[in-house]
Structure 1
Amino acid sequence: MTVRYPIMLVVALLVTAAAVAAYVVLQRRRTAALAAFGLGGPGGSRRAAVRRHLPYALLLAALPLLLGGLARPQVTIDVPRVSGTVVLVFDISNSMAATDVAPSRLAAAQAAATGLVEEQPDTVDIGVVVFGDQALTTQAPTDDHAAALAAINRLTATGGTSLAQAVLAALTTITGRPVALPQDGAAPPQLGYWGSAGIVVFSDGEDTGDPAQAEAAADLAAAAGVRIQTVGVGTPGGATVEVEGYQLATALNEQVLRGLADATGGTYLTAGDSGALAASTRSIDLKLTSREEPVELTGPVAGLALLLLAAGALLMIRWHGRIV
């Protein structure tokens, strides 16, 4: 348990100690006054002692709770949550700057992804991975969809393309541990089953890496139960882009993207098919998870204190005909 204002605990302790000490002093003076008139004494019944002290004990017990509540105590508990994960993977290679899709392939991918994120319920965590020659996670999966949208809006085109690295980075994000292709002759890594997660790749399909590695990465995803949905951005007719002073021709390679999706039981779509794109993630099997959330105890503590105050006041009225 943590508290926001620890000083209030010290105040609660000091005030309660002072109140208890004052009550003890008052009771001793009362006993001495009664003894001076030949009343009271050690022969009083236990029932009478309970009636005399219990109401005040309840009031004194409420005092540290009221003051302690001002310290804003909090506990962290595991809150159950039904959730899934979608990792959006963006090709940011130089070819994504082509304008055969207005205003550019990358901008079209960003627009399609933005619509996809906005369609997702808060039970789906969104992560963002970008890839060129290498791949990296720019936004870990989160139910804060505004953070995912901000990561999408920051994308710029540069570098080459490696679909294999893109898939491996997405699997790393999903599983929470580094995922790499096995070395020659080695057994593929066992990633477990992640049917509650999916990958959506936005790319023009031009892969400057090894196609066999992309296929092997897709096989790892399929073995882990992760479907890859691919979104083709561009046109088969293509366009030219300027890279370091050179004009390079680039066109949409649907065959590569279809093959990547088919290997995992996913689907191939185009960036303009926003309805089907949003629906493509609904095949994810949501699972019951938990996450730590701080829960403030001020309300329950104050409620208990008020209950003790009310009980003490009622007993005083019933037994003594007054509250103090």
Structure 2
Amino acid sequence: MTFLYPALLAVAALVTAAAVVAYGRLQKRRTAALAAAGFGGPASRLARVRRHLPYALILIALPILLVGLARPQAEVTVPRVSGTVLLAFDVSNSMRADDVSPTRLGAAQAAAKEFVEDQPGTVDVGVLVFGDQALLTQAPTDDHQAALTAIGRLSAGGGTSLGQAILVGLGTITGKPVALPEDGAPAPELGYWPSATIVIFSDGQETGGPDVTAAAELAAAAGVRIQAVGVGTERGATVEVDGFQLGTALDESLLTTVAQTTGGAYLPAGDADTLTDTTKAIDLRLTAKKEPLELTAPFAGAALLLLLLGAVLGTRWHGRIV
């Protein structure tokens, strides 16, 4: 326990000691006066209790009240949602499919915006886009409007590299470039980042790049959890790429593997409304923070209760407060 005004503790001790001494002297004078008047016989236990208890309660209340004036504080551990969330958007050609209205990418943007708007200021949000390569378009920040602006600028085109998205995401979280180790080489030391989460919005159609499972294992070793949100439907749709009509459908298997490898979850979404509901189920980690809790009110309340009780008993037993 700490005190904002610790000097008042010395004052409390001096005042309490003075009050106890004064009460002792008062009782001696009263005892002497009673003896002089011929009432000096020994009092019963009940009489002694009635004589001293009201004053004892008031004397106990005095230091408690003075300690409360010193503004005592205690540190309490408060759970809260905090940390870093990196939203990774698949912006490949397949995300232009319209099996989710208006398009897969458009639905992902709408759901992600609602997700960002729901986050407290203790959560830093960043935005990453990935196609054939991955690019950080907004560094994690507590300025959620900046993240919303970055989400609104997304456009689709190119292939899909989930592995590259994870590696760039890890690099953003750890503050240094991350690559898969060469064959036989030890995995890079990334530290441990348990309050960081990567949320991937994708239809799961991988077209090449670094090994996705190996990248997810790096994330797991670094304590970074990946939540994967499936965008699209199993029935799929067609998109036009360079004059060709290509069929594309939601592939949940890879997204599920990536999420489960890191201790996260795959969250399926069938249509735009379901996708928005899905983002509300994204599980961010609770961290604990020590915060000061002022105890002035409890001390003052206890002191006032004792004063009130002492006054009531003094009035009832002696016809006066003191």
Same fold (TM over 0.5): yes
Q: Structure 1 residues 241, 173: closer, same or farther in 2, change over 3 A?
A: same
Q: Structure 1 residues 286, 198: closer, same or farther in 2, change over 3 A?
A: farther
Counterpart check, 1:236 vs 2:234: yes
Write out the 4+ residue segments of structure 1 that deviate beyond 4 Å after TM superposition.
none
Q: Structure 1 residues 159, 130: closer, same or farther in 2, change over 3 A?
A: same
Aligned pairs for 1:67-146 within 5 A: 83-146=82-145
**RMSD between superposed Cα atoms in Å:** 1.8
Aligned-residue identity in percent: 65
Specify the code of the residue in structure 2 equivalent to 1:143. D
Q: Structure 1 residues 207, 287: closer, same or farther in 2, change over 3 A?
A: farther
Alpha-carbon contact 2:81-2:287 (below 8 Å) kept: no
Alpha-carbon contact 2:197-2:284 (below 8 Å) kept: no
Alpha-carbon contact 1:83-1:287 (below 8 Å) kept: no
Per-residue deviation, residues 168-195 of structure 1 (Å, max 9, x unmatched): 1111111111111111111111111100
Specify the code of the residue in structure 2 equivalent to 1:282. L
Q: How many residues align?
A: 207
Q: TM-score, normalised by structure 1?
A: 0.61
In the alignment, what sits opposite 2:259? Answer: 261
CA distance in 1, matches of 2:289, 2:125: 15
Per-residue deviation, residues 261-291 of structure 1 (Å, max 9, x unmatched): 0101101113424344234232253678xxx
In the alignment, what sits opposite 2:206? Answer: 207
Question: Can you give the 5+ residue segments of structure 2 that lack an aligned partner in the other structure?
Answer: 1-79, 291-322
Alpha-carbon contact 1:82-1:287 (below 8 Å) kept: no
Q: TM-score, normalised by structure 2?
A: 0.62
User: SS of 1:103's equivalent?
Assistant: coil
- CA positional deviation for 1:115: 1.1
Alpha-carbon contact 2:225-2:263 (below 8 Å) kept: yes
Q: Structure 1 residues 141, 102: closer, same or farther in 2, change over 3 A?
A: same
CA distance in 2, matches of 1:112, 1:82: 20
Per-residue deviation, residues 23-47 of structure 1 (Å, max 9, x unmatched): xxxxxxxxxxxxxxxxxxxxxxxxx
In the alignment, what sits opposite 2:283? Answer: 281
User: SS of 2:167's equivalent?
Assistant: helix
Question: Can you give the 5+ residue segments of structure 1 that lack an aligned partner in the other structure?
Answer: 1-80, 289-324
CA distance in 2, matches of 1:122, 1:200: 18
Q: Structure 1 residues 284, 216: closer, same or farther in 2, change over 3 A?
A: farther
In the alignment, what sits opposite 1:322? Answer: none
Q: Structure 1 residues 240, 287: closer, same or farther in 2, change over 3 A?
A: farther
